[in-house]
Amino acid sequence: MQISRRKLLLGVGAAGVLASGASALVPMVRRDGKFIVTKSRALPVDGTSGELPKEADAVIIGGGIQGVLTAINLAERGMSVTLFEKGAIAGEQSGRAYSQVISYKTSPEIFPLHHYSKKLWRGMNEKIGADTSYRTQGRVEVPSSEEDLARSIDWIISARETAGFGTPLNTRIIGGNELTKRLANAKTPWKIAGFEEDSGSVDPETGVPVLAQYAKKIGVKIFTHCAVRGIETAGGKVSGVVTERGSVKAPSVVLAGGIWSRLFMGNLGVDIPTLNVYLSQQRVSGAPGAPRGNVHLPNGIHFREQADGTYAVAPRIFTSSIVKDSFLLGSQFSHLLGGGELPLKFKLGEDLFNSFNIATQWGLDEVTPFETHRIATATQNNEHLDGVFERMKAEFPVFKNSEIVERWGAVVSPTADELPIISEVEKYPGLVINTATIWGMSEGPASSEVTADILTGKTPIIDPAPFSLSRFNS
Ligand SMILES: Cc1cc2nc3c(=O)[nH]c(=O)nc-3n(C[C@H](O)[C@H](O)[C@H](O)COP(=O)(O)OP(=O)(O)OC[C@H]3O[C@@H](n4cnc5c(N)ncnc54)[C@H](O)[C@@H]3O)c2cc1C
């Protein structure tokens, strides 16, 4: 998922407007997108029953894709691993994603994570002996302009040269019959597209829960509905965690807390500059004669076939409520202000008030925001969802009788440079962070391996320097 600089910065732009006078906000008022506590839409996973263990080799905070895959990685290295999830496995981002697994046009920094991850995803079902719903399916992306086409060709040439991991880049420019077949029954006679043959997808409601079942099978203890309040230290190093159900001693802790990592680290005096961004998602029923696989068109149509035959349909519109962090982080995100037309509207409302009410400091014997927000999301924007579904039906009339199966809202929390944080924390030896990715479903297998390598002192297969926490100090 690529957040255009222009879109991401709308939240910061709105903060700037707020500073210049509340009346200027009136044209930017957005009526959707409110931060709420919700239910999981992912397949339920039973947690480990009984008492918490007294100790573990490693504790993982967070039961999304990063936490679960990091737990698997460490357990496969023979370590005893305990994972804590404040709500449900994949209750937040990892159960709410569009969930395409791609590398097309990714930045040079994250391309290795994506290219390597795609390889790992392809072997995942066989490795764990279960169906995660991952499918290799191919993705067509029609360029939006001549310049976009030129950039895409340049990207392919350069990525071919840098693709490693014993896997050549399987992406090319297509046209003619091949494109017509892949965009079956399209009304527009599309002429040329980028085609990523080995892209894939994993259905968000299924993927991470099935991985979590595997994690349990190989010995990971998973405690759901159990928030970690903070870490403990001894002799200048991490010595364990304190949860709402008691403490667990551990020399190694991984924070994979998704949108909550910023708050968690803030309580420890470490700033993680991430800003919440809202999205909406939906699933619609399939249709005979519809294109298979993954389609991305320049007229704002994006859909992906799921393993169950339904289609995930994404508006790919990113909005940001004006909240306390808009003021705190505005300057760090300000270079992303791209100008141009602003297609989104922003809301000055309850989110702003509520954001000042969430505790940012607490003691380890106090109830934390993690316990009051077991599963959090943003309310969906039906206008955005209707828009993309209507465009899809107009372009592909075979979908005219398709029905909406489900709609939901979601939150991601990127950094200003749109790179993940996969890093040690200098102040707390023994603590490693794996968070802030906006491409977690694609990157997860690689970034969790890199995390496990950092934690165990092994040289990672991918250089983690671009993802280091220290980059924010310079
Ligand atoms: C609408 C949408 C579309 C997307 N599309 C794509 C896509 O097409 N391709 C792609 O690669 N990525 C996509 N993404 C991004 C991807 O979903 C995320 O990058 C990924 O899921 C992040 O995983 P995570 O494990 O870091 O976070 P999460 O899945 O959010 O997991 C973090 C978990 O930590 C738990 N937690 C937090 N604090 C604590 C605590 N103190 N104690 C215990 N538990 C805690 C939370 O409850 C949460 O379950 C999309 C995301 C969204 C929302």
Distances (CA, A) of 156 to 149, 196, 198, 367: 11, 10, 14, 50
- pTM (2 d.p.): 0.94
Whether residue 28 is contained in a domain is answered as: no
At what angle are helices 111-122 and 440-456 packed, to 10 degrees?
100
Q: Under a CB-based contact definition with an 8 Å cutoff, are residues 230 and 242 in contact?
A: yes
At 18-75, the pLDDT tens digits run 333 332 233 334 446 789 999 999 999 999 999 999 999 999 999 999 999 999 999 9
At 376-387, the pLDDT tens digits run 999 999 999 999
Query: Can you give the pLDDT at residue 14?
Result: 33
At 137-162, the pLDDT tens digits run 999 999 999 999 999 999 999 999 99
**For the chain, what is the domain count?**
1
**Would strands 431-435 and 252-255 be described as parallel, antiparallel, or unpaired?**
parallel
Work out the average pLDDT over 366-372.
Answer: 98
pLDDT > 90 fraction of the chain, expressed in percent and rounded: 82
CA of 473 to the centre of ligand 1 (A): 25
Query: Can you give the pLDDT at residue 25?
Result: 33
Q: Which domain holds residue 167?
A: 35-472
CATH of the domain at 270: 3.50.50.60
For residues 454 and 331, what is the distance between their CA atoms, to the nearest angstrom?
A: 31
Name the one residue in this structure whose structure tokens are 């840098």.
162
Whether residue 271 is contained in a domain is answered as: yes
Pocket of ligand 1 (CB under 6 A): 1, 61-67, 84-87, 91-94, 96-100, 227-228, 256-260, 264, 279, 281, 370, 410, 412, 435, 437-442
Query: Can you give the pLDDT at residue 343?
Result: 38
Reported as type and span, the H/E element at residue 141 is: strand 139-141
Whether residue 23 is contained in a domain is answered as: no
CA of 281 to the centre of ligand 1 (A): 14
Whether residue 464 is contained in a domain is answered as: yes
Q: What are phi and psi of 284, to 5 degrees?
A: -125, 160
Distances (CA, A) of 408 to 158, 207, 276, 385: 37, 17, 17, 10
Backbone Cα Rg of the chain: 22
Residue 326 pLDDT more than 90?
Answer: no
Q: Under a CB-based contact definition with an 8 Å cutoff, are residues 235 and 41 in contact?
A: no
For residues 344 and 329, what is the distance between their CA atoms, to the nearest angstrom?
A: 20
- DSSP 3-state assignment of 227? coil
Query: Can you give the pLDDT at residue 352?
Result: 86
Work out the average pLDDT over 239-250.
Answer: 98
Query: Can you give the pLDDT at residue 353?
Result: 84
- Residue 207's nearest CA partner among 130, 111, 113 is 130
Say which amino acid occupies 174. Answer: I
Pocket test for ligand 1, best of 98, 320, 379, 422 (most atoms within 8 A of CB): 98
Query: Can you give the pLDDT at residue 27?
Result: 32
At 105-114, the pLDDT tens digits run 999 999 999 9
At 82-135, the pLDDT tens digits run 999 999 999 999 999 999 999 999 999 999 999 999 999 999 999 999 999 999
More confident residue, 416 or 152: 152
Residue 360 pLDDT more than 70?
Answer: yes
CA of 432 to the centre of ligand 1 (A): 17
**Would strands 139-141 and 294-297 be described as parallel, antiparallel, or unpaired?**
parallel
For residues 420 and 443, what is the distance between their CA atoms, to the nearest angstrom?
A: 10
Work out the average pLDDT over 348-354.
Answer: 82
What residue owns the CA closest to ligand 1's atom 13? Answer: 439
Whether residue 14 is contained in a domain is answered as: no
Whether residue 15 is contained in a domain is answered as: no
CA of 411 to the centre of ligand 1 (A): 8
For residues 467 and 459, what is the distance between their CA atoms, to the nearest angstrom?
A: 15
More confident residue, 369 or 16: 369
What residue owns the CA closest to ligand 1's atom 38? Answer: 257
pLDDT category of residue 337 using cuts at 50, 70 and 90: low
Query: Can you give the pLDDT at residue 329?
Result: 86
CA of 330 to the centre of ligand 1 (A): 23
At 170-222, the pLDDT tens digits run 999 999 999 999 999 999 999 999 999 999 999 999 999 999 999 999 999 99
What residue owns the CA closest to ligand 1's atom 12? Answer: 439
Query: Can you give the pLDDT at residue 318?
Result: 81
CA of 161 to the centre of ligand 1 (A): 31
Any idea which of 10-14, 26-30, 394-398 has the lowest mean pLDDT? 10-14
Whether residue 17 is contained in a domain is answered as: no
Reported as type and span, the H/E element at residue 295 is: strand 294-297
What residue owns the CA closest to ligand 1's atom 45? Answer: 62
Whether residue 25 is contained in a domain is answered as: no
